[in-house]
Amino acid sequence: MHIDARNIPDQTLIEGDICIIGAGAAGISMALEWINTPYRVILLEGGGFEYEAQMQDLYKGKTTGQRYYPLESARLHYFGGTTGHWAGFCAPFDPIDFKKRDWVPHSGWPIQREDLDSFYARAHKNLDLGPYDYHPSYWKAKDPSLDSLPFNEAVVFNKMWQFSPPTRFGTKYKETVVHAANIHLYTYANVTNIAANELVSTIKEVTVKNFSGKTHTVKAKYFVMACCAIQNARLLLASNKQLPKGLGNRNDLVGRYFMEHLEIKSAELWLVKPELLKLYAIDYGKTKARAELAISEEKQREFQILNGTASFTPLDIARKQPAFIDMWTADTAQTKKNMEKFDQAEKKGSSKKGYRSFQLFTRIEQAPNPNSRITLDTEQDALGVPRSILHWELTPLEKRSIRTIYELIGQQLGIASKGRVRLMEYLQAENDKTWPEFTGGGWHHMGTTRMSNDPNLGVVDANCKVHGINNLFIAGSSCYVTAGAPNPTLTLVALALRLSDHIKSRVATKA
Ligand SMILES: Cc1cc2nc3c(=O)[nH]c(=O)nc-3n(C[C@H](O)[C@H](O)[C@H](O)COP(=O)(O)OP(=O)(O)OC[C@H]3O[C@@H](n4cnc5c(N)ncnc54)[C@H](O)[C@@H]3O)c2cc1C
């Protein structure tokens, strides 16, 4: 059922069993799990069903440190959330991503890859992906012309990705949510404060505001924040009437360890003779899967590097492509035009002829860093919530890891007599710690409410429950401890489904 929060009387009290804040990939995935249950679910969405400039303005904030995209255009603020923008690249995290790695400070999740496997398989359905099978052999059996480069898999292996259409949650799931009798979707319901009991051990209610000047109160037994990594941190920090540092922030961890994936052109691949490298190309609309080159767990350990992958774009196309960080502006219409041009040029790269040269493009996790963080500004948005400041930093480990990845790929090409790899200039001098102007991220926001079973080291526990508060949970990539190499949405949907099962088990036992 759908209710526009602007059209109900001011100061309405809304009550339910579960209150989910935010209707993007995480929030909608959770809500779908509760349809036809005996529970009354309140789904609060700040925006309406369409893009509105006034709503996007609530996301405006400052960025300091490493150059970043304007915050008001890096996320979408309406039903469906940022899936209205996303490109659909999906792959599960590797087992090593969850492990404690001595050379990656602050690494190590309290859960492992096998804890997520069944949820990844379920998340595939939400994202319209193929079977939960990432072995190249599965895809090669479907299309025998998908040849791999002849590398030693103990060094460099083919990491498969799948492509969502991309599923736009706001379009695909609108009717299902709106027609579900026990899901009460409130649009124009921006949560501006979360209030707890006197001991700050249980959330009592949240405050909802909108541009019509109305304020409502929502009470529930369980609350789930699903506003995405920057907004989850911002809302916890801004809910500071009872504890000056904000909710869940006794150990000053909320907002820290913000992570992105570095997405950056890094090297050129020159082959001895032209090849199509079809396994590595985005074959739009057909295979719905491709491989990127990745470094084995053993070699990551040996060289003490971060996890990252390399993708291929024909060099003559790639050289003409501007960097994402230059294309993506606060002007949405202009950005849309830039991205369409970019996509058209990329599609040309999946033509039938072979190429001798490719640009190698890196996606890599960044090492968790407490100094990369979200804090509150003194300036407020139109609903009275302090705006965010994102301070983003990179470390030398990221740069050394990228260089090592291409040295290993280059060695494998040489051994196979296939060709050569030429590092881009910014990677050539080992002691150069600077980053080029075109350095950018993948619009992936992670880590601001990290997971740990130790309240001194994390904001949420292994069940995504905020430490010290018995009924407040967080769904989304803000819970990530490390970022893995793959884009975040498949993993965050898997985590949301896992969280949903956990809350169901608590509801059943009235815990
Ligand atoms: C250009 C671009 C390309 C991308 N490509 C990929 C890709 O290929 N693969 C991939 O895995 N990921 C990709 N992403 C990232 C992906 O979009 C996000 O990982 C995903 O949308 C996050 O889901 P979420 O539900 O956590 O947040 P969102 O989808 O952002 O949803 C959050 C929801 O919460 C609502 N909300 C926020 N604050 C409040 C509040 N205070 N009160 C009420 N509601 C609130 C918002 O309106 C929104 O609906 C891309 C992102 C961008 C921008």
The DSSP annotation for 38-91 comes to SS-EEEE-SS-SS--HHHHGGG-EEEEES----GGGSS--STTGGGGT---EE-
The atom of ligand 1 lying closest to the CA of 166 is 8
Pocket residue to mutate for ligand 1, from 43, 44, 72, 82, most atoms within 8 A of Cβ: 82
The atom of ligand 1 lying closest to the CA of 23 is 49
pLDDT at 478 over 90: yes
Pocket residue to mutate for ligand 1, from 227, 263, 346, most atoms within 8 A of Cβ: 227
Pocket residue to mutate for ligand 1, from 30, 54, 68, 86, most atoms within 8 A of Cβ: 86
Least confident of 111-115, 164-168, 282-286: 282-286
pLDDT at 502 over 70: yes
Residue 458 near ligand 1, beta carbon < 6 Å: no
pLDDT at 86 over 70: yes
Residue 486 near ligand 1, beta carbon < 6 Å: no
Residue 351 has what pLDDT? 59
For residues 495 and 117, is the Cβ–Cβ distance under 8 A?
A: no
Domains and their CATH numbers in the chain: 1-89+166-254+445-511 (3.50.50.60)
φ/ψ of 29, rounded to 5, equals -60, -40
pLDDT tens across 227-255, in order?
999 999 999 999 999 999 999 999 999 99
pLDDT tens across 287-317, in order?
789 999 999 999 999 999 999 999 999 999 9
Confidence (pTM): 0.97
Residue 85 near ligand 1, beta carbon < 6 Å: yes
Say how many Å lie between the CA of residue 26 and the centre of ligand 1.
8
Residue 468 has what pLDDT? 98
DSSP label of 455: T
The atom of ligand 1 lying closest to the CA of 28 is 25
pLDDT tens across 328-363, in order?
988 888 888 888 888 887 776 555 678 999 999 999
Residue 74 near ligand 1, beta carbon < 6 Å: yes
- Residue 416, Ramachandran bin (φ over 0: left; ψ between -120 and 50: alpha; else beta): alpha
Give the Cα separation of 34 and 183 in Å (integer): 8
The atom of ligand 1 lying closest to the CA of 26 is 25
pLDDT at 285 over 80: no
Give the Cα separation of 56 and 54 in Å (integer): 6
Residue 440 near ligand 1, beta carbon < 6 Å: no
Q: Are strands 41-44 and 183-187 parallel, antiparallel or unpaired?
A: parallel
pLDDT tens across 10-67, in order?
999 999 999 999 999 999 999 999 999 999 999 999 999 999 999 999 999 999 999 9
Cβ density class 394-421: b for 16+ within 10 Å, e for less = bbebbbbbbbbbbebbbebbeeeebbeb
pLDDT at 127 over 70: yes
Instruction: Provide the percentage of residues in the chain whose pLDDT is more than 70.
Output: 98
